[in-house]
Structure 1
Amino acid sequence: MSIDLTRRRFLIGGTLASTSLLAGCDALVENKSIDNVLQAGEWLSLKAQRLLLSGQQLAREYTEADLSPVFKANGTQLPETDEYKRLMDGQFADWRLIVDGRVRTPLSLSLADLKAMPARTQITRHDCVEGWSAIGKWTGVQLGAVLEKAGLAPGARYAVFHCADDYEQSLDGSGRYYESIDLVDAWHPQTILSYSMNGRDLEIAHGAPLRLRVERQLGYKHAKYLMRIELVDSFAHIGSGRGGFWEDRGYQWYAGI
């Protein structure tokens, strides 16, 4: 068994175990001392990964013969917001990706704009915390190229991905899905904004028109239905301040190999 497979199975098992613990032991998670210990362990894992692996270490890539015959859709499969339905009905002609926050040049990019930029194609394995994996072929623009186009302003530390799916059907938008990564992962060559899966435009269930692929992290980090990328210095003003929808509900912010 490869080191990569062993590590990923360990992480998935650990995440599932953590989820079960959270479901049955909310009182423990709400204890500030225990929460501080869990966060310290998470950051130690991140620092160990950064120390052991170079910033450019690649996740394994596969061949077309390895493509999974079925690739399940994780998370939301059809956003219910009026905004998304309008964009979908117009075949995303009016959709724009906003890039703002701590950038020098805010951007508003159409799907055609993104497809006009140099593309990267990669065949990789998606590992979901629900316990399944699948191999798919993804094509898109490298996130680093988009961020270079915007230019980082002083203080930028994280890229936050705001999505169209209102995961909890909230009236105030607090249930909107979001995720984040640091700038090391943002500039990783396999971190792409994907508009194509298996040689075709993304299907709705898989995140059309655009989703994040950050191949060294588990499935919930791969945000779908992207609307905005915000460069920030901290997560304090977003959600519950943990850096992601599921992180706000007890998952780890760092979910990488």
Structure 2
Amino acid sequence: MSARRNRPAVGIAEIRPELERLRRRGFLRNALSLGGLTLLTGCDLATHSGVDAALEAIMRFDDRVQAALFSRQRLAATYEASAITRPYRFNAFYAEWQVRPVPDNWALAVSGQVADRRPWTLPALMALPQQGQITRHICIEGWSQIGQWSGVPLHVFLRRVGADLRARYVSFTCFDGYSTSLDMESALHPQTLLALDFVNQPLAPQWGAPLRLRIPTKLGFKSAKNLQAIEVTNKDPGGYWENQGYDQFAGV
């Protein structure tokens, strides 16, 4: 069976957001000339600070447009098992590409705007409803691969801990020093997982043991490995790459 998107045939109402996305990308590409940057920001491009400010303005504009076009009803493509990339590429954010062992007595901490802040052990997470997916991981460096994941839908977990779903962000910190965050709408997307298994086996350390975020509607740097804590908050928490200029929404 050929792989295809999990959605019915669409009409003009459904494709209009895609047309808007293409028009937006064309605008941003044209705006990235010096003249476009000057018109967009009115800043002095003779200094590096002016260029940085202009680029940051475009990134923030891009975030707002992506968020406006995002829909929980629009699913990322899923694939047959025959499409899984073998061998699956290991990736990490640190230069030495090291694998971090799981800390003794690991438990997932929960904080912020939630009713129940008790930590979660692996058995407790495995007792929650599980969901599987075969989806594509897309790296900002230009490569992609297809993997099979299963775990707890994040929206199920957030509701179980009594999270305030009106809050703006969900942040994730990891015991390897990494961090990232999602807007609440993306966190509640049905394909956003707290992944426990990779190709029907418990996560190995290189895939993010014991728990990782898997979100196929985002670029790969959002799918944080080695999760240690989740916080629900109204304050933009940023993240390892987000704090270095990557866009917050990072949709694909």
Change in Cα spacing, 1:143 to 1:131, as seen in structure 2 (3 Å) is same
Q: How many residues align?
A: 211
1:114 corresponds in structure 2 to: 125
Q: Secondary structure at the match of 2:175?
A: strand
Matched, 1:183 2:184: yes
Distance 1:62 1:154, change over 3 A: closer
Q: CA deviation digits over 1:218-237, x for unaligned, max 9? A: 111110000000111113xx
- Aligned 8 A contact 2:138 2:145 in 1: yes
% of aligned pairs identical? Answer: 37
AA partner of residue 60 (structure 1): A
CA contact (8 A) 1:42 1:254 kept: no
Q: 1:100 to 1:139 in 2, by over 3 A?
A: same
Q: Distance in 2 between matches of 1:86 and 1:158?
A: 26
SS at match of 1:48: helix
Match of 2:250 in 1: 255
| 2:231 paired residue number | 230
Q: Which residue of 2 aligns with 1:170?
A: none
Aligned CA distance change for structure 1 residues 85 and 126 (closer, same or farther; 3 Å): closer
User: What residue is the counterpart of 2:12 in the other structure?
Assistant: none
- Give the aligned partner of residue 140 of structure 2: 129
Q: Counterparts of 1:56-95 in structure 2 under 5 Å?
A: 56-75=73-92, 77-79=97-99, 84=101, 86-87=103-104, 94-95=105-106
Structure with larger Rg: 2
Unaligned runs of 5+ in 2: 6-14, 30-46
Judge conservation of contact 2:102–2:205 (CA < 8 Å) in 1.
Answer: no
| Counterpart-to-counterpart distance in 2, 1:190 and 1:215 | 7
For residues 233 and 210 of structure 2, the distance between their equivalents in structure 1, rounded to whole angstroms, comes to 24
* Aligned counterparts of 2:165 and 2:81: Cα–Cα separation in 1: 42
Task: Tell me how far apart the structure 2 counterparts of residues 119 and 141 of structure 1 sit (CA, whole Å).
Answer: 5
After superposing on structure 2, the runs of 4+ consecutive aligned residues of structure 1 that deviate more than 6 Å are none
Q: Determine the C-alpha separation between the residues in 1 that align with 2:165 and 2:211.
A: 27
> Does the C-alpha gap of structure 1 residues 51 and 251 become closer, same or farther in structure 2, counting only changes over 3 Å?
closer
Residue ranges of structure 1 left out of the alignment (5+ in a row): 15-26, 88-93, 166-175
RMSD: 2.7
**Does the C-alpha gap of structure 1 residues 127 and 34 become closer, same or farther in structure 2, counting only changes over 3 Å?**
same
1:247 CA drift (Å): 1.6
Shift in Å, 1:108: 0.9
TM-score with structure 1 setting the length: 0.74
| Alpha-carbon contact 1:210-1:226 (below 8 Å) kept | yes
Q: Name the CA distance, whole Å, in 1 between partners of 2:216 and 2:125.
A: 20
Are 1:41 and 2:58 counterparts?
A: yes
Letter in 1 for 2:115: R
| Letter in structure 1 aligned against 2:123 | A
Q: Find the counterpart in structure 1 of residue 160 from structure 2.
A: 149
Q: Hey, what does 1:211 align to over in structure 2? A: 212
2:232 and 2:70 map into 1 onto residues whose CA distance is: 25
1:127–1:219 Cα contact (<8 Å) kept: yes
Pairwise CA distance, 1:153? 4.0
Structure number with greater CO (CA < 8 Å, separation at least 6) is 1
CA distance in 1 between partners of 2:128 and 2:175 (Å): 23
- Alignment-mate amino acid for residue 197 of structure 2: S
When residues 151 and 38 of structure 1 are mapped into structure 2, their CA distance, relative to the original with a 3 A threshold, is: farther
Question: Which is richer in strand?
Answer: 1
Residue 42 of structure 1: how far off its partner (Å): 2.5
Q: For the Cα contact (< 8 Å) 1:158–1:182, is it kept in 2?
A: yes
Distance 1:153 1:60, change over 3 A: closer
> If the length of structure 2 is used for normalisation, what is the TM-score?
0.75
**CA distance 1:56–1:36, shift in 2 (3 Å):** farther
Tell me how far apart the structure 2 counterparts of residues 43 and 249 of structure 1 sit (CA, whole Å). 13
Asked whether the 8 Å contact 1:155–1:232 carries over to 2, the reply is no
What's the offset of the Cα at 1:85? 5.3
Letter in 2 for 1:64: A
